[in-house]
Structure 1
Amino acid sequence: MPPKPKETVKKPTPQIARPAISNATLLYIPEDVVEGFQERIETGIHWTLIEEAARHHKQRCFKEDIPRVSFSEALENKIHTSILRGFLDEDSKLSLDEQWELILPTILWDNEKFSNDEGKTCFRSCNSITNDLVKLIKKAVKVGDRGILQKDLKQVQVLRVNDSKMTHLDSGLTEFKNLVTLNLCGNFIEHIDCGFMPSNLRILELQANRISNVVLFAQYLPRDLIYLGLSRNLLTSDNIEGLVHLPQNITVLDLSENDIYNMEPLLDVLVRLPNLTSLMLSGNPCSVCAAYARTLTMLLQRLKWLDSREILPVDRSLEPFEPHPDDLRSAYFNFTILRIMSAPQPPKPEKGATTTFHVELEIPLLDSTRRKFLMFRRNESLTEMLPPPEDDEWPVHKLPSNFVESKSCKSVEGEGSSHESDIYRRLTTKNSREICHFTTFESNKVQWNKVMNFQEPTVRIFCPDLTALRDTFRSVITVKLIYSVTSTAKQGKPDKKSGQFMKGSGEQRAVLASIKCALRSPDWSQSSQHFHWDDSLGTNDAIHWGDGDLSVSVDSFLLSVFLFEEYLQTLR
């Protein structure tokens, strides 16, 4: 009889080793913490342009002495900066025909031909009060009656009074009885008095205001409302309970770019909205947790769109899913260098020295050492020095002279053409006594090769502080390629030229490349987000969004950055 085939025993799936998340994590703030440490943590961070603008507006929202501006005043100011100004001015010496034939064409021509992109954007914003504004003006010009224009303006279905420093609504809004869409973005509104809103309102946009509590107005919103935009307000996990009182017809809810941290209370609210089909949460700390997309797509079965991305059938597993609690309050940031190509070959080191290459990634907001240092100290400097050893023979701040003027700056015979560049001559001494509480995560060190590969992931950062991780994707990170020369002289052996004793190893390094890369908010539906290197476009940045050699890879469990570096031939 043939022998029975051996039964293959399936190995159990290894358990994922995850650091414990408790009060000892970065989120825990002790009672004896130095006041203002969080502000110092964010000092010196290079934010993206969009984030700079958002923070500027948010700082203004926190001011206590904001002048009170009603809806009626804001609308009047909006009209004053638009092309409606001359047509509604009863004291104007120009007729409606003269305004139409002379002034309006001149304004439109000047904006089209002589304004830069920023000017055109401002012009569109000032004249976005309603749709077809020119058509509205033309009707009044034909009749020759300014009163017709005032009357028709109050009959519009779309009204935008944005960026007008408005702080509150008043009875002026009740005159717009036909409104279907109301846009009040970019103001300083803190409380919403729903008594002034038209009953047939369907779309309400309140992005970029100072709303911190929805309990006071959620249940009084118009019953037919289907869209509510609360992006870039002051919402947190502690003040979102009122969302459960939103009108039952709500189908689109925009809560993006707030400070909602905990997923669990948010889920308790969202499951009670029966008609919710589209949800925007990107830009909140909870949106970068490991189980973000999978949890929402599995628990909210009626949801069809998440963060403006369609939820496909493959995004929902047929198997029951119960997220690990830690996956709702933590994630990993993985930075991987797949390869570095075309780096010039370094000169041959002298005897007793070795040369290596490594990558340094500067991400200040994720550096737990720096955070803890600033939490308890007021030092402006982030650098400390170890006390000198008791041995008087220790050469403080110096390396042997033959190491400083090393032969590593000289070319290897037969390879002179590849060493004519001076990039390897810019060596600076690394002080071994220096403790740097700053921003640097280092990769493993590799020897030079035409194609240098690093371990994967090159840097792995555990992130229990989701706010810091969220803000990292709003910032500009720095990637550096470092060349190091390390002396490996034996202890106690005197240097022939200097006469000093060398103890331990000394290191010198040179920065061969420093890359600034503006990250973007992770997209749950994309397996990777790509950048490319191109310094020939005549811009201040060499890293550009689009397919290429730098990509940010995001999935439901990892937040990763991959670098394909292929441009060092420009340093030759």
Structure 2
Amino acid sequence: MTFKNLRSPNSEIMEISEDFVKLFRQNKFNKMQWSKEETPIKDSRKYREEMYSKYILRFSNALLLALRKSVFGCYLNSLNPQQNQDTDLNENKLAITEYIIRNLKEKEVKRFQEKNYLFEDTMKVLRKIIKYNGSVDLEYLMRNMRTLRITDFYVTHMDESVKSFLDLQFLILAGNNLRDLPGEFLPKNLIFLELYDNFMENFEHFVKKAPKTILHLGFSRNNLDDNSSYHLLAGSNNFLKLSSLDLSENDIYNLRSVLAELRGMMGLRALQLEGNPCYVVPNYKSTVLKYFPKLVYLDNIEIMQEDRQVENDKQVEAAEPQIVFLCYRIMGLQHPPKDAKNNQTIHIEFNLPLLETVHTEKVAAEKSFNIPDKSEKESQTPKKEKLQKVKESGSGTNKSSKKSKISKQKSPYERSNEYDPDFEENSFSFKTARMPWNAVIEFPPVFIESPEHDLRAIRDTFRSRVEVRVVYLKTTHASKSKPKKEKQSAKSKPASNIQKNVQVEDSEETILKKITLYRFNCDLKNIGWSDETIDYHWADHPQIGMDAIRMDGCLKNITYGKSMKTKKTEPITAGELRNSQEIVQPIPKIFTCQVGFGLKRI
């Protein structure tokens, strides 16, 4: 296996082992900055993995613990053996309970709701039991409850106690530590089973003696992969009524092989596969519809008639998955200092660490797997430059801080030079095209391929937090010695375009100054197959902070201009972005950047 260093075209190509690539990738994976949505999920799963090896918690014990923490804890006979329960006693206790609930503060109400999430409308259930049954006992709950939720409770093993809920139809066991769930333990009337965020790996024991009434199965965010025996689901007679299957956020890589195993489940009307590595392939939608032409919903998005047009297999198989970065526009930039001798441009830089190529130079192979990041870059900055940055940020006396803020607003281009040739050579940043300053600067899209065509790397990128930087460059070109040219008469034709291009190539660029004007973060998420991009809006405003705002719609529908008759000055709403073909806005007075991240699909 060989990989070419894309940054050094003339560097030596060498063979490296797959172990080298895996270690290099793992190192980059460990340094990923996950989005605010992904971070708590990963932290929770890691903690529960550690807890699993220490404790065993069966469903029956978890149920009693959950009941004890809920409002039922002071009513159940089995938990209060010292009380002789009757209707009068429980009615008095109920009056006290309702009085306490009415006087709960906002934070206490939220905590109360979290502890009483077991049944649908817990207080209504409690009132009904006391009115018609007098005393509250576990047997009554097991005979009458139709919904049961045991979530985020570290349950490691199921047992037959769940079958005691004779009329149970909805069972939610999300956020537990289940690695296996024998189907024989499930209630016979079950129609909805949700196992989100567990550790299920296959369906071998689940399909045996499972109830035949199930309509929905949810296995999102488990440990399922290509070898999880999906054919057992399709081949079992117990799931003939199944109409909804959720396999999202797992590690399914080979889309066609998994769909082929599930093909026998022709009753499916809703299928979820988003968040799997196979979800990013260009022909995702057409391939799924080829195997399941009667689907009504794919990844919770309704399939319209035009979506059912299946593309030619030869065309889609030749395409490689690509991430698309779009900087629709930046506005509100102050004009850089005029200097006719130097070239002054603006571009955008952003980091997608898992998509960077493996360095194959001998020097890189001998070194440890260290990936430069902004903390390393900052550590290389001289102390004088750091002090200058502190002064510019507004520290010190009130007068100096005001002056520094004013000077910063007037001339952000006068900040310290950040250009470091060694750092730039090893930088992992992607860059847009350089554009000259203008009132509204629009950039062409950047198409990014995973160097090893790793679908997991692309999938994980859409779970990450990406830092976007607006960079100002001042450069100059020093022409190299050129061959002598024949003299041209006044009537002779000017030099051709080819000659002009040669002259540009003969000139050597020197970077005089590099300044990061602005930086902000974009928390990525899975992009729907019906969407082109996930769009973000950021402005240099204290209310926005460092995190860009995710927009529900397409920012390319907005047009900015000064003298538009139909210009709109009110804030843009998500509904307007979705429904309008074009929205006209005045050019912002403060710096504003609008970007999008998408997948190139057919």
TM-score normalised to structure 1 length: 0.76
Question: For structure 1, which segment, 374-383 or 301-310, has the greater mean C-alpha deviation from structure 2 after superposition?
Answer: 374-383
- Structure 2 counterpart of 1:248, one-letter code: L
Q: Report the Cα offset of residue 306 of structure 1.
A: 0.4
Q: Determine helix, strand or coil for the equivalent of 1:84.
A: helix
In structure 1, the partner of 2:131 is 142
In 1, the alpha carbon distance for the partners of 2:148 and 2:94 equals 23
Deviations 1:445-478 (A, max 9, x none): 2222223333x22454356211111111111212
Contact residue 478 and residue 516 of structure 1 kept, 8 A? yes
Q: Determine helix, strand or coil for the equivalent of 2:337.
A: coil
In 2, the alpha carbon distance for the partners of 1:419 and 1:129 equals 56
In structure 1, the partner of 2:600 is none
Q: Determine helix, strand or coil for the equivalent of 2:512.
A: strand
In structure 2, the partner of 1:51 is 38
In 1, the alpha carbon distance for the partners of 2:162 and 2:408 equals 73
In 2, the alpha carbon distance for the partners of 1:65 and 1:366 equals 34
1:569 to 585, 590, 593: 590
Cα RMSD after superposing both structures = 3.6
1:162 aligns with 2:151: yes
In 2, the alpha carbon distance for the partners of 1:530 and 1:504 equals 34
- Structure 2 counterpart of 1:334, one-letter code: V
1:106 aligns with 2:100: yes
Contact residue 178 and residue 200 of structure 2 kept, 8 A? yes
Contact residue 322 and residue 447 of structure 2 kept, 8 A? no
- Structure 2 counterpart of 1:65, one-letter code: S
1:291 aligns with 2:279: no
Against the structure 1 CA distance between its residues 551 and 261, is the aligned structure 2 distance closer, same or farther, given a 3 Å change threshold? farther
Q: Determine helix, strand or coil for the equivalent of 2:71.
A: coil
In structure 2, the partner of 1:228 is 217
Deviations 1:195-249 (A, max 9, x none): 2211221111111111011123224321221111100000011224333335222
Q: Report the Cα offset of residue 260 of structure 1.
A: 0.6
In structure 1, the partner of 2:163 is 174
In structure 2, the partner of 1:346 is 336
Contact residue 165 and residue 187 of structure 2 kept, 8 A? yes
- Which structure 2 residues correspond to residues 372-387 of structure 1 after superposition, within 5 A? 377-380=367-370, 382=372
In structure 1, the partner of 2:385 is none
2:550 to 532, 542, 545: 545
Deviations 1:263-284 (A, max 9, x none): 1211112211121111011111
In 2, the alpha carbon distance for the partners of 1:518 and 1:72 equals 39
- Structure 1 counterpart of 2:330, one-letter code: I
Against the structure 1 CA distance between its residues 192 and 69, is the aligned structure 2 distance closer, same or farther, given a 3 Å change threshold? same
Q: Report the Cα offset of residue 128 of structure 1.
A: 1.7
Paired-residue identity, %: 26
In structure 2, the partner of 1:335 is 325
Q: Determine helix, strand or coil for the equivalent of 1:130.
A: coil
In 2, the alpha carbon distance for the partners of 1:251 and 1:345 equals 59
In structure 2, the partner of 1:428 is 417
Q: Report the Cα offset of residue 540 of structure 1.
A: 4.4
In 1, the alpha carbon distance for the partners of 2:408 and 2:121 equals 65
Q: Determine helix, strand or coil for the equivalent of 1:333.
A: strand
Question: For structure 1, which segment, 120-129 or 468-477, has the greater mean C-alpha deviation from structure 2 after superposition?
Answer: 120-129
Q: Where in structure 2 are there 5+ consecutive unaligned residues?
A: 6-14, 374-380, 383-405, 482-507, 558-584, 593-602
Q: Report the Cα offset of residue 163 of structure 1.
A: 1.3
The structure whose residues are more often helix, as a share, is: 2
In 1, the alpha carbon distance for the partners of 2:470 and 2:216 equals 48
Contact residue 345 and residue 419 of structure 1 kept, 8 A? no
Against the structure 1 CA distance between its residues 536 and 59, is the aligned structure 2 distance closer, same or farther, given a 3 Å change threshold? same
Question: For structure 1, which segment, 147-156 or 48-57, has the greater mean C-alpha deviation from structure 2 after superposition?
Answer: 147-156
In 1, the alpha carbon distance for the partners of 2:310 and 2:447 equals 34
Q: Report the Cα offset of residue 520 of structure 1.
A: 2.0
TM-score normalised to structure 2 length: 0.72
In 2, the alpha carbon distance for the partners of 1:522 and 1:317 equals 21
In 2, the alpha carbon distance for the partners of 1:204 and 1:189 equals 13
In structure 2, the partner of 1:368 is 357
Contact residue 142 and residue 164 of structure 2 kept, 8 A? no
Against the structure 1 CA distance between its residues 25 and 311, is the aligned structure 2 distance closer, same or farther, given a 3 Å change threshold? farther
Deviations 1:366-395 (A, max 9, x none): 222479999875244538xxxxxxxxxxxx
- Structure 2 counterpart of 1:41, one-letter code: K
In structure 2, the partner of 1:531 is 536
In structure 1, the partner of 2:190 is 201
- Which structure 2 residues correspond to residues 199-278 of structure 1 after superposition, within 5 A? 199-241=188-230, 242-246=232-236, 247-278=239-270
- Structure 1 counterpart of 2:538, one-letter code: W
Contact residue 87 and residue 137 of structure 1 kept, 8 A? no
Q: Report the Cα offset of residue 301 of structure 1.
A: 0.9
In structure 2, the partner of 1:445 is 434
Question: For structure 1, which segment, 336-345 or 34-43, has the greater mean C-alpha deviation from structure 2 after superposition?
Answer: 34-43
Q: Report the Cα offset of residue 432 of structure 1.
A: 2.4
In 2, the alpha carbon distance for the partners of 1:507 and 1:258 equals 48
Against the structure 1 CA distance between its residues 516 and 420, is the aligned structure 2 distance closer, same or farther, given a 3 Å change threshold? closer
In 2, the alpha carbon distance for the partners of 1:452 and 1:439 equals 24
- Structure 1 counterpart of 2:294, one-letter code: R
1:461 to 449, 453, 459: 449
Deviations 1:44-100 (A, max 9, x none): 322122211221233235446141101111111111221111121425779423321
In 1, the alpha carbon distance for the partners of 2:2 and 2:225 equals 20
In structure 2, the partner of 1:40 is 27
In 1, the alpha carbon distance for the partners of 2:541 and 2:326 equals 26
Contact residue 473 and residue 520 of structure 1 kept, 8 A? yes
Q: Determine helix, strand or coil for the equivalent of 1:286.
A: helix
How many pairs align? 488
1:282 aligns with 2:274: yes
Against the structure 1 CA distance between its residues 376 and 226, is the aligned structure 2 distance closer, same or farther, given a 3 Å change threshold? farther
- Structure 1 counterpart of 2:63, one-letter code: L
